[in-house]
Amino acid sequence: MRYIPQVNKPLWKARAMTGTKKLFVKTYGCQMNVYDSERMAEALGAQGYQQVDSAEGADMILLNTCHIREKAAEKVYSELGRLKPLRAANPDLKIGVAGCVAQAEGEEIMHRQPMVDLVVGPQTYHRLPTMMEALARGEKALDTDFPEEDKFAHLPKGRKARRGPTAFLTVQEGCDKFCSFCVVPYTRGAEVSRPADRLLREARDLIDRGVREITLLGQNVNAYHGAGPDGGEWGLARLIREMATIDGLDRIRFTTSHPNDMDEDLIAAHGDCDKLMPYLHLPVQAGSDKVLKAMNRKHTAEAYLRLIERIRAARPDLHLSGDFIVGFPGETEADFQATLDLVETVGYGTAYSFKYSARPGTPAAERATVDPAEADDRLQRLQALLTRQQRAAQDAMVGRRVSVLFEKPGRMPGQMVGKSEYLHAVHVDGPETLKGQIAPVDTRRQRPELACRAIGGLNGTTCGAAGSRTECGSSR
Ligand code: SAM
Ligand code: SF4
């Protein structure tokens, strides 16, 4: 960790930092960042910071960033530019940058934006309290180490406030796969799995605080191989089965998975573990074996298709989601056609598609890129197909009874919104007391371009678009 001496503040200023202060956290990117933001807010909560919804009037602003695609990093610099007037109006305002952009750019962030007081990488945010002490002394703090210690074990305990019915729980971090386009192995480091007993404890704690659905997270979550309390090594399926025994935990999900880590036990769990929801995000990235090889994915399109068949045999109503990259260096029209063919064969309920973005330091960044206009055109064609499939999947829900976990009020007065087991957003006209309840909802179509409207179960119910999850680098 490095502290960069700045102007020394008088002691009374440092003391003023110990009262109740307002913290605004803005999160970019994937669910893992959402989880990290919660933990950082908890850690700062122990320092007297209370989280607020707006940057205006905050004493500290923390941007938790994502570096997966180029625009994501640029977004952070634009956001810092927008924060300048707030800092000008309040010189005591502290501004921090956390996450993968912090890891990748380090001190460069402070050079480009000298008003930034703190830069902390994804593996060192348990050291935030010490960094905050440096800030209180009028210094800047920068920490982008990959420390030996487990940050989760060293995180200061925050206030155990009541929370909403759904929560993320990071079980695994980092990646050893080194896909040739991806920065994750460099920004998040080597693959590490958290010990199962700590995860089970954290899950029980979440349930005590009102949570009913937990999504297990990892950059490669199905590569999970944590130490089990029995002394053995547990895979993800074993962890899921043990979590499923926790009273009060009704739903379990996991994301994001790599096809090569879908083992037999995990496939079987989709068939025999009732609490594991019938939704799977299983990125394939491309349908051409030539491109998959250049991406260093270490599987073929055929192997992916056979895997999908086996998972669907275990859970026939599985709602499948995926990620795609178009315009990867060397991708020809024929390669792209193979991606469209794969999508046609699989039939996705939801999917996320991206134009290839060269990331400095990754092997693919050295290669000649596809003409940007061509890549744009392919992205549009792929998205048109995926949108058609998504609508078809929503239409298939019409007239079906789904089970909905209600999370919060909807946009319209008197409306509540929740998620079906397939991760469809479902709207009903109902009281706020529905929050945290799981109820059956019969769906019917509301508008042709949306999905469905209820005819039974709960009264006046609508079932909206699927795919409310966030994914690296984009907000959807
Ligand atoms: N571990 C998951 C897997 O192996 O499929 C993916 C996690 S990755 C952090 C999230 C998604 O971002 C990827 O699936 C990929 O589609 C997209 N992505 C990653 N690097 C990218 C790049 N350089 N350009 C465009 N999209 C990228
Ligand atoms: Fe790892 Fe997924 Fe990135 Fe590949 S795409 S390097 S598997 S995080």
Q: Is the CB of 172 under 6 A from ligand 2?
A: no
Task: Give the residue numbers spanning the domain of 409.
Answer: 400-454
Which residues make Cβ contacts (< 8 Å) with residue 129, sequence separation at least 6?
43, 44, 46, 47, 156
Is the pLDDT score of 341 beyond 70?
Answer: yes
> Mean pLDDT across the stretch 408-422?
93
Task: Among 292, 323, 386, 469, name the best residue to mutate to test ligand 1's pocket (greatest count of ligand atoms within 8 A of Cβ).
Answer: 323
Alpha carbon nearest to ligand 2 atom 3, residue: 182
Q: In which band, very low, low, confident or very high, does the pLDDT at 145 lie, cut at 50, 70 and 90?
A: confident
**CATH number of the domain bearing residue 425:** 2.40.50
Which residues make Cβ contacts (< 8 Å) with residue 366, sequence separation at least 6?
none
Tell me which ligand sits closest to the C-alpha of residue 295.
Answer: 2
Residues 124, 408: Cα–Cα separation, whole Å: 33
* pLDDT value for 272: 97
Domain final residue pick, 143, 177, 209: 143
Is the pLDDT score of 362 beyond 80?
Answer: yes
Nearest to 16 by CA among 118, 84, 85, 90: 90
Q: Are residues 323 and 408 in the same domain?
A: no
Look at residue 149 and tell me if it is in a domain. Answer: no
345 or 39: whose pLDDT is higher?
A: 345
Domain final residue pick, 376, 397, 418: 397
Q: Are residues 280 and 418 in the same domain?
A: no
175 is in an annotated binding site: yes
Look at residue 475 and tell me if it is in a domain. Answer: no
* pLDDT value for 269: 98
Entry pTM: 0.87
Nearest to 27 by CA among 12, 38, 43, 13: 38
Q: Is the CB of 299 under 6 A from ligand 2?
A: no
Is the pLDDT score of 12 beyond 70?
Answer: no
**Span from the CA of 175 to the centroid of ligand 2 (angstroms):** 6
Tell me which ligand sits closest to the C-alpha of residue 181.
Answer: 1
Which has the minimum average pLDDT: 10-14, 49-53, 315-319, 329-333? 10-14
Is the pLDDT score of 425 beyond 70?
Answer: yes
182 is in an annotated binding site: yes
**Span from the CA of 248 to the centroid of ligand 2 (angstroms):** 33
**DSSP letters of 187-222?**
HT-S-EE--HHHHHHHHHHHHHTT--EEEEE-TTGG
> Mean pLDDT across the stretch 197-213?
95
Which has the minimum average pLDDT: 138-142, 153-157, 236-240, 465-469? 465-469
* pLDDT value for 245: 98
> Mean pLDDT across the stretch 300-322?
97
66 is in an annotated binding site: yes
Which residues make Cβ contacts (< 8 Å) with residue 259, sequence separation at least 6?
282, 283, 284, 297, 299, 303, 304, 307
* pLDDT value for 73: 76
Backbone angles phi, psi at 269, to 5 degrees: -60, -30
* pLDDT value for 146: 85
Nearest to 33 by CA among 114, 103, 117, 89: 103
Q: Is the CB of 185 under 6 A from ligand 2?
A: yes
**Span from the CA of 257 to the centroid of ligand 2 (angstroms):** 9
* Ligand 2 atom closest to residue 285's alpha carbon, by position in its atom list: 5
Domain final residue pick, 112, 143, 174: 143
Q: Are residues 283 and 370 in the same domain?
A: yes
Q: Are residues 382 and 298 in the same domain?
A: yes
Q: In which band, very low, low, confident or very high, does the pLDDT at 158 lie, cut at 50, 70 and 90?
A: low
Q: Are residues 171 and 110 in the same domain?
A: no
pLDDT tens by residue, 300-310: 999 999 999 99
Rounded to whole angstroms, what are the CA distances from 177 to 41, 83, 265?
31, 37, 21
Look at residue 476 and tell me if it is in a domain. Answer: no
Look at residue 459 and tell me if it is in a domain. Answer: no
Which has the minimum average pLDDT: 111-120, 146-155, 281-290, 337-346? 146-155
**CATH number of the domain bearing residue 184:** 3.80.30.20
Is the pLDDT score of 475 beyond 50?
Answer: no
Amino acid identity for residue 52 in this structure: V
273 is in an annotated binding site: no
Backbone angles phi, psi at 363, to 5 degrees: -60, -40
**Span from the CA of 417 to the centroid of ligand 1 (angstroms):** 29
449 or 31: whose pLDDT is higher?
A: 31
Task: Among 100, 179, 192, 221, name the best residue to mutate to test ligand 2's pocket (greatest count of ligand atoms within 8 A of Cβ).
Answer: 179
**Into how many domains does the chain fold?**
3
Alpha carbon nearest to ligand 2 atom 7, residue: 177
Q: Are residues 286 and 321 in the same domain?
A: yes
Q: Give me the percent of the chain exceeding a pLDDT of 90.
A: 72
Average pLDDT over the chain, rounded to an integer: 87
Look at residue 212 and tell me if it is in a domain. Answer: yes
Look at residue 355 and tell me if it is in a domain. Answer: yes
Q: What are residue 214's DSSP bridge partners?
A: 167, 252
Look at residue 25 and tell me if it is in a domain. Answer: yes
* pLDDT value for 448: 38
Q: In which band, very low, low, confident or very high, does the pLDDT at 154 lie, cut at 50, 70 and 90?
A: confident
> Mean pLDDT across the stretch 133-156?
85
**CATH number of the domain bearing residue 111:** 3.40.50.12160
Specify the pairing of strand 140-143 against strand 166-170.
unpaired
Q: Are residues 178 and 40 in the same domain?
A: no
Q: Are residues 168 and 274 in the same domain?
A: yes
Q: Are residues 312 and 282 in the same domain?
A: yes
> Mean pLDDT across the stretch 395-413?
92
Backbone angles phi, psi at 278, to 5 degrees: -80, 60
Which residues make Cβ contacts (< 8 Å) with residue 257, sequence separation at least 6?
220, 221, 222, 280, 281, 282, 283
E strand or H helix at 37: helix 31-45
Backbone angles phi, psi at 74, to 5 degrees: -65, -35
Q: Are residues 310 and 366 in the same domain?
A: yes
Look at residue 472 and tell me if it is in a domain. Answer: no
Which token pair is 125?
């945010």
Burial of 292 per CB tally in 10 Å (0-12, 13-18, 19+): buried
* pLDDT value for 9: 37
Q: Are residues 89 and 194 in the same domain?
A: no
> Mean pLDDT across the stretch 118-143?
92
Cα pseudo-dihedral 348, 352, 353, 355, rounded to 10: -170
Which residues' Cβ are closer than 6 Å to ligand 1? 68-69, 181-182, 184, 219-220, 256, 258, 283, 285, 323, 325, 354, 356-357, 359, 471-472
Q: Are residues 391 and 432 in the same domain?
A: no
